[in-house]
Amino acid sequence: MKISLGPIHYYWSKENVEQFYRSVEHWPVDIVYLGETVCAKRRALRNADWLDIAARLAGAGKSVVISTLALLEANSDLLQLEKICANAHYMVEANDMSAVHLLAGRSPFVVGPHINCYNSETLSLLAGLGATRWVPPVELPATTIAMLQNTRPEAMETEVFAYGHLPLSFSARCFTARADNVGKDECEQRCIGDPEGRALFTQEHERLFTINGIQLQSGIPCNLFNEMVPMSAMGIDIVRISPQFTATELVVRAFHAVLNGDYTSPEKGMPAVFCNGYWYGEAGMKCLSAEDD
């Protein structure tokens, strides 16, 4: 199995993004997804900046994919999408059917986790349009993914969201701005102050979700570290690690060690509290293990 680094879900400053990817050049990851997938108002990096980062990573031997916005609203969002889809150098991860439409029949593409692909017929349809890799929606259980593996089209790679705060929903409304009691039009990209999102608790102080602009994520990270053996047996090709502001390198190295048969310090870098319920076909927030069955 290969390791990929998903797109950064949060809004980081240009310097932070560039610094992050400069270190990624030395990490044991095979594929790196770049670009803004959450909010079109986050413009710290322009297309040229992303392409510079892409070139450096490609030079370091990484396979680079440009990810597209999940929720498109304004016409300017579409124009930006058209530019990305027309780029001649890098593969594109489509996170909306608008992107699939623009890429279909033109160049091979990745079906991102925000495309609702729940069955073989849809997967084969997307393969026919040029998809060569797909990331199942985060709520799909292992049993369903396994069934899809049995019927997946030839040359279709499967990439599982294996680590990170799960992207659960998108809205027109900005929840970060709302938390600070300002309108979205006056947000001033304040989410840049929350490089790992903002924690949302129930009235009983339970960590429920993570606010990330117009997106809600799981309160605790999903972690399929302990599922790598069954994943490998199922023929999963790639595990995706979703970047956090801190400690992402430790997670990457832990996954890499286990993939290379090194079980000496498997817990190093892993969070104490995590969830994996979706993998077992249960509530996503649950934390289960194979022995629970």
The stretch among 8-16, 43-51, 135-143, 258-266 that binds other proteins (CB under 8 A) is 135-143
Amino acid (one-letter) located at 125: L
The stretch among 19-27, 96-104, 240-248, 264-272 that binds other proteins (CB under 8 A) is 96-104
x-or-dash pattern for other proteins, window 212-251, by CB under 8 A? Answer: ----x-x---------------------------------
Q: Which of 143, 100, 135 is nearest to 117 (CA)?
A: 135
Footprint (CB under 8 A) of other proteins, residues 62-91: 70-75, 77-78, 81
32: CB partners within 8 A, 6+ apart: 4, 5, 21, 24, 57, 62, 63, 64, 65
Does position 119 interact with other proteins (CB under 8 A)? The reply is yes
List, in sequence order, every residue forming a beta bridge with 199; answer none if it has no partner: 210
Residue 282 CB, shortest distance to other proteins, in Å, is 5
CB 251 within 8 A of CB 159: no
Tokens of 274: 């995590």
Residue number, 15 or 293, with CB nearest to other proteins: 293
Amino acid (one-letter) located at 69: L
Does position 100 interact with other proteins (CB under 8 A)? The reply is yes
Does position 97 interact with other proteins (CB under 8 A)? The reply is yes
Does position 282 interact with other proteins (CB under 8 A)? The reply is yes
Residue 43 CB, shortest distance to other proteins, in Å, is 18
Does position 289 interact with other proteins (CB under 8 A)? The reply is no
CB 57 within 8 A of CB 24: yes
The stretch among 172-180, 227-235, 236-244, 245-253 that binds other proteins (CB under 8 A) is 172-180
Return d(Cα 271, Cα 290) in angstroms, integer.
19
How many amino acids of this chain bind other proteins (CB under 8 A)? 71
Distance of CA 90 to the CA centre of its chain: 17
Answer for which of 125, 127, 250, 257 binds other proteins (CB under 8 A) is 125
Return d(Cα 267, Cα 66) in angstroms, integer.
31
Query: Is 287 labelled as part of a ligand binding site?
Result: no
CB 53 within 8 A of CB 22: no
Question: Would you list which residues are annotated within the binding site for [4Fe-4S] cluster?
Answer: 39, 174, 187, 191
